[in-house]
Amino acid sequence: MVLVTGASRGIGAAIARELLARGCRVGCGYRRDPDAVARAVGPAEPEAVLPVPYDLADEASAERAVDTMLDAWGGLDGLVLNAGVWDGGRLATLDPADWWRVVELNVRGTAALARAALPALAKGDRPGIVLVSSIVGLIGHAGDTAYASAKAAMIGFARSLAKEVAADGIRVNVLAPGFVDTDMTALVPERSRRAIADATLLGRFGTVEEIARAAVFLSEDATFCTGSVLSIDGGWSL
């Protein structure tokens, strides 16, 4: 029983599909449209999929999301903190309100749901938390001071939380993807896309399926990993 946030589109939807293919029951976080979950995960056993409303901007929705899982299935074994927002712009030009919105939504929303889920996870089966950060949180990227700050914060958060909850048997790991074509990256200008592709050793962008397999590895298989950061970036960071 794994809760995946931001499972209505993109990487989160692919993680949900991969977990379902592995036989997990999956709570699929969405912000706006519950029907988007069914469209995103495709044909799955209906009893294996639970649409879960959750908004990074609403701390109370974190408690409600965990309660939704417990009411439906009576437990929680895993949490994939995938939902995130991006807004680009250099420090000198990005409106400070937009800058802080990116940092606050990504960090505060993620921390709120992790906090809310800990008591249930402590009773779970081989419990684990996976945070979907970004490679730019490690290597930086011009035009991304807000987003990279948030994604770097998630790494420090995860490594600290790993130390806090290891005694409860909860693993906390981080995925740091490179560039993947999704709605989030659709607005990245062509010049930046070309520069990122050129800097990526494998010469292409990642697919949502490749990121999903790595997320499921950390969530389900990496039983001796905690506090680790798995870069999955085609070599962009080298």
- List of residues 6+ apart from 196 with CB closer than 8 A: 178, 179, 188, 205, 236
Q: How far is the CB of 151 from ligand NAP (least distance, A)?
A: 7
Select the residue interacting with ligand NAP from 48, 72, 103, 184 (CB under 6 A): 184
Say how far apart CA 120 and CA 139 lie, in whole Å: 34
The residue count for binding ligand NAP (CB under 6 A) is: 30
Select the residue interacting with ligand NAP from 1, 6, 49, 155 (CB under 6 A): 6
Contact 90, 119 (CB under 8 A): no
Q: How far is the CB of 104 from ligand NAP (least distance, A)?
A: 11
Q: How far is the CB of 123 from ligand NAP (least distance, A)?
A: 25
Select the residue interacting with ligand NAP from 145, 173, 182, 231 (CB under 6 A): 182
> Which of the ranges 30-38, 41-49, 66-74, 119-127 carries the binding residues for ligand NAP, by CB under 6 A?
30-38
Q: How far is the CB of 168 from ligand NAP (least distance, A)?
A: 25
Contact 128, 219 (CB under 8 A): yes
Answer yes or no whether residue 191 interacts with ligand NAP by CB under 6 A: no
Q: How far is the CB of 57 from ligand NAP (least distance, A)?
A: 5
Q: For 81, list phi and psi in degrees, rounded to 5.
A: -90, 85
- Look at strands 128-132 and 78-81 and give their pairing: parallel
The residue annotated as part of the active site, out of 30, 86, 147, 157, is: 147
- In degrees, to the nearest 5, what angle opens at C-alpha 2 toward C-alphas 8 and 23? 95
The three-state secondary structure class of 81 is strand
- In degrees, to the nearest 5, what angle opens at C-alpha 114 toward C-alphas 113 and 116? 60
The three-state secondary structure class of 95 is coil
The three-state secondary structure class of 40 is helix
Question: Which residue, among 83, 84, 86, has the nearest Cα to 99 in the 3D structure?
Answer: 86
* Per-residue contact string for residues 67-86; x = within reach of ligand NAP by CB under 6 A: ---------------xxxxx
147 is catalytic: yes
> Which of the ranges 41-49, 55-63, 94-102, 213-221 carries the binding residues for ligand NAP, by CB under 6 A?
55-63
In the complex, the residues that contact ligand NAP under the rule CB under 6 A are: 5-6, 8-12, 30-32, 36, 54-57, 82-86, 105, 132, 134, 177, 179-180, 182-185
Annotated catalytic residues are: 147
